Amino acid sequence: MDLIYTDKNGIDKDIMPTYELDVAFGRDENDFLCTIAIEDHCCAPQDRIYMKDSVGGKNKWTDIGGIIDQIKLNTESGDVMYSGRTWHGILEGKVLCPDAGQDYLILSGEANTVLKDLITRMGLGTLFEAEDTDSKITIKSYQMDRYIGGYTGIRKMLKAVKAKLKMIYKSGKVQISAIPLVDYSQDKEWDSTQISAQISKNDFPTNHVICLGKGELKDRKVIHLYMDAQGKVSKTQTYFGIREVTEIYDNANTESEDELEQKGREMLEDAYAAANAMDVKFKNNEDYDIGDYVGTREYYTGIQIREEITKKIVKVKSNGISIECQIGE
């Protein structure tokens, strides 16, 4: 595979000489470090890098790329180090704010159209563009958290409609789109031997959230949400007595019942993720995306886990590429 470097306008310059690349993106970091020999020094601040598959013309590593923010020289080792923000880090470096006079930023519409509006709102139209195709995914009155990083906010918004963010660097632009997430934990053909894991499970996380919305006393809007053993949220109670663990979500300013229910669901999903932990390393497999779900069942204890992929760490050296997926927030 080739690592291409461009000028600050995204015009391809050449293939990076012999290099080592360390990239992390997802719930945190969202940056890269590229190391080359001093005699091969070829880049400047604001230049871009992106990965391109040199075999068959099919780029499998479309998420890997970013902008060079800093250059360091180590005369003792004879190395030059280029570091900067990945595409994800550039999005995260913008903050999504409510409009003037509004409590929250509320988003609705076809998902790719919403992404297009968010790119404009963040002032990133020179680098990012949303696909024009209809994603068949609808954002319905999504209430963005106040003053949230752009990438984190987009991830949370798409997760609420069982979707994920896809990025492809092409012709000098990062093309983004919303596509359905994949739940590999429901795929009987998914090979759990691909992972090594430390697993822990708490059978008594919060499994009942009482969502309190607008109104006073007996007129206040109340929604009860419940979670089952598989982490699925519904309005049907499955745990009773000492197995029921309840918390309150209180937001008298919520604009609609849908928003109130959405936040309650997120609260239960976060509780489930915290209670069911996997410290996981995947063998080299580039098919998993941030936002997909994986799961495993441990033979001796019977512990079964389903978790969201929230971070990827990619390392490229002369002997090949390694990809590690991490689970949970």
What's the pLDDT at 60? 66
In which band, very low, low, confident or very high, does the pLDDT at 317 lie, cut at 50, 70 and 90? confident
What's the pLDDT at 283? 55
DSSP string, 110-132: EHHHHHHHHHHHHT-TTTEEE--
Give residue-wise pLDDT tens across range 43-95. 999 999 999 865 555 566 778 999 999 999 999 999 999 999 999 999 999 99
In which band, very low, low, confident or very high, does the pLDDT at 167 lie, cut at 50, 70 and 90? very high
17 closest CA partner among 45, 49, 59, 46: 49
Cβ atoms within 10 A of the Cβ of 145, count?
Answer: 15
- Residues contacting 42, CB < 8 A, separation 6+: 5, 13, 14, 16, 17, 36
Cβ atoms within 10 A of the Cβ of 316, count?
Answer: 20
Residue 321 has pLDDT above 90, yes or no: no
In the 3-class helix/strand/coil scheme, how is 44-98 assigned residue by residue?
CCCCEEEEECCCCCCCCCCCCEEEEEEEEEECCCCEEEEEEEEHHHHHHCCEECC
Give residue-wise pLDDT tens across range 112-129. 999 999 999 999 999 999
Give residue-wise pLDDT tens across range 280-301. 555 555 578 999 988 766 666 6
Residue 191 has pLDDT above 60, yes or no: no
What's the pLDDT at 294? 81
- Residues contacting 91, CB < 8 A, separation 6+: 122, 124, 128, 149, 150, 151, 154
Cβ atoms 276, 215 nearer than 8 A? no
